[in-house]
Chains A and B, each alone.
Chain A
Amino acid sequence: MEYQVVSQGKFDVVMLSGDIDLYYTPDARRIVLQCLNEKRGVLVDLSAVTYIDSSGIACLVEGYQTAKQRQLSFGLIGVSENAMNVLRLTRLDQVFPIHDSLAAALRHGG
């Protein structure tokens, strides 16, 4: 997994790429929570994610719930087909705010 964080207005955009599995999930979790700790809304870009398992999904759920508790925005953008299939299998596609692109997410305020 590789990652990059860029600031976009009131959001941090966390771009994850590659496989998000049990080995890399602690890194993804640390990055997402760090952005939320800085009181920034978070948009996680999953467009370059080739694989995500339940540990990676758990990290996204934790981010979503932490953001909610702190009244910050949290959303997913450009979800890759593989990642979307896992979200569908766990029915979390109905829970996360999901946007096609960063522009769409910004239009909707995250």
Chain B
Amino acid sequence: MNAVTTLLAELRFPARAEHLQALRAAVRSAAQQCGCDPPLTEQLTLAVNEAAMNIIQHGYREAPTGEIILEIHNNGTELVFRLLDFAAPVDSTALRPRDLDEVRPGGLGLHLIRTVMDRVEYLQPPPGVGNLLQLSKRIP
């Protein structure tokens, strides 16, 4: 993150489904603040929600004690969402969105994240953090 980056929101919450509504509210508010129109705001909300869902379901395997930190930054040209968790490190090379021609329940989250975002990166997490997922989207 460079010097002109502004932190728009920071949220630390238990990795449980009932807390996703607060995450969505924070994403919507930041996106609106950065001039995103309603369709883009909803897409960003969906993508960040999907990333947090993956952490809850796959990272923590629905264990109720995990925590997630969401930071939302504006670096002047992009909205940057950073999701930090304390779960076991993810092998990002093994993550593949599934073929959409195959109609079956599940497995759509990664496709949605990659379709909406310009960049999806697993960065080196700070000490004590399991994973740092950074999602970036150019803003109007």
Minimum CB–CB distance for A16 against chain B, Å: 16
Minimum CB–CB distance for A55 against chain B, Å: 7
Q: Interface extent on A, as a size class?
A: 20 to 34
Q: Say which residue of B39, B53, B103, B115 sits within 8 Å of A53 (CB atoms).
A: B53
CB pair A86 B46 closer than 8 Å: yes
Residues on B with beta carbons closer than 8 Å to the beta carbon of A89: 43, 46, 111-112, 115-116
Expressed in whole angstroms, the Cα–Cα distance for A61 and B105 within the complex equals: 5
A58-B106, A90-B112 as given contacts; A82 in contact with B42, CB under 8 Å:
yes
A22-B53, A89-B112 as given contacts; A61 in contact with B21, CB under 8 Å:
no
CB pair A53 B17 closer than 8 Å: no
A53-B50, A90-B112 as given contacts; A22 in contact with B20, CB under 8 Å:
yes
Expressed in whole angstroms, the Cα–Cα distance for A91 and B56 within the complex equals: 25
Instruction: Please name 6 further chain A to chain B contacts, defined as beta carbons within 8 Å, in addition to the given A23-B20, A54-B53, A61-B103, sorted by A numbering.
Output: A51-B24, A58-B105, A65-B103, A85-B43, A89-B116, A90-B100
User: Could you list 15 examples of A-B contacts with CB < 8 Å?
Assistant: A19-B24, A21-B20, A21-B24, A22-B57, A23-B17, A23-B21, A53-B46, A53-B53, A54-B112, A59-B105, A64-B103, A65-B103, A85-B42, A89-B43, A90-B111
